[in-house]
Chain A
Amino acid sequence: DAMVIQNPRYQVTQFGKPVTLSCSQTLNHNVMYWYQQKSSQAPKLLFHYYDKDFNNEADTPDNFQSRRPNTSFCFLDIRSPGLGDAAMYLCATSRDLGATEAFFGQGTRLTVV
C-alpha cells in the first residue's frame, strides 16, 4: 500500500492561475519535503516541514508556498505559475531530520499552458 500519496498525478494549469498540489502520508513521519524536478535534472529541494516548523530553501521563489494543516497532509501552492514552473513535484517524508531513509510519493507532473 502506498505510504506517501500525491494527488493528482498529472495537473494542467493555466499560466498565472493558482494551483495546489497535495501530499498525504500514513507513516506518521515528522518531516515532509517538497522537491521540484525539471526534465533531465536532479530533484531540487524547495522547502520542508519538521512538524509545524517550516524551512524554506534560500533560492525557492516566493511564488511557491506550502501548508501543513496536520501531520498527515502537506500542500504545495503555486500562486502564479509560469511556464518555467512546469516540472515533476515530489513529496517525501522521513521520520526525523537525521533519518537514513526518506519515502517519496509518485510525484505530480505539472504542465503550465
Chain B
Amino acid sequence: AQKITQTQPGMFVQEKEAVTLDCTYDTSDQSYGLFWYKQPSSGEMIFLIYQGSYDEQNATEGRYSLNFQKARKSANLVISASQLGDSAMYFCAMRRHSGGYQKVTFGIGTKLQVIP
C-alpha cells in the first residue's frame, strides 16, 4: 500500500527560526510526485512546494525548501525564518499513477505553531 507518514502531530518554533517538518513515504513506483500543502484555520489548502521523483535538486520556493532523500524515502519541508502567519496545519502528499490516473494521498498533517 502507498503511504505517507508524518510523525510530528505538533511542532513549535520561535519566530524567525527555521523549522523542519518530517515526511516519509512508501511506494514501489519509480515515478511519483511529492507535495507540501499548508492549511490555515480558514480551511483552504495552499500549495507550497513540489518535488518530482526524478528531480535531482531539492525544490525551493521562497522560504520553503524540500529536503528530498530518495533512498531514505523522505521529503522533509524546511521553513526558514518562520513568521507568525506560518502557524497552520501542514500536509505532505504524494501523487502516483493508479488505475489509469494520477492519485494524490495525504499524510495526517503536522500542526505548526510559531511563537513570538
- What is A's interface to B at a CB cutoff of 8 Å? 9, 40-45, 48, 50, 55, 88, 90, 92, 97-98, 100-107, 109
Contacts and interface: CB of A to CB of B under 8 A. Distances in A.
Contacts of A92: 45
Interface residues of B, number: 22
Interface in B92-111: 99, 101-109
B50 A100 contact: yes
Given A42-B91, A104-B47, A107-B43, 17 more contacts: A40-B108, A41-B108, A42-B4, A43-B45, A45-B103, A45-B105, A50-B101, A55-B99, A88-B43, A90-B43, A97-B101, A102-B47, A103-B47, A104-B45, A104-B46, A105-B44, A106-B44
Contacts of A44: 106
A57 B10 CA distance: 30
B42 A106 contact: yes
B86 to A, nearest CB: 18
Interface in B28-51: 33, 37, 42-47, 50
B43 A109 contact: yes
A98 B4 CA distance: 19
Contacts of A106: 42-44
Contacts of B46: 104
A58 to B, nearest CB: 8
26 contacts: A9-B43, A42-B106, A42-B109, A43-B45, A45-B103, A45-B104, A55-B99, A55-B101, A88-B43, A90-B43, A90-B44, A92-B45, A97-B101, A98-B102, A101-B47, A102-B47, A102-B104, A103-B47, A104-B46, A104-B47, A106-B42, A106-B43, A106-B44, A107-B43, A107-B44, A109-B43
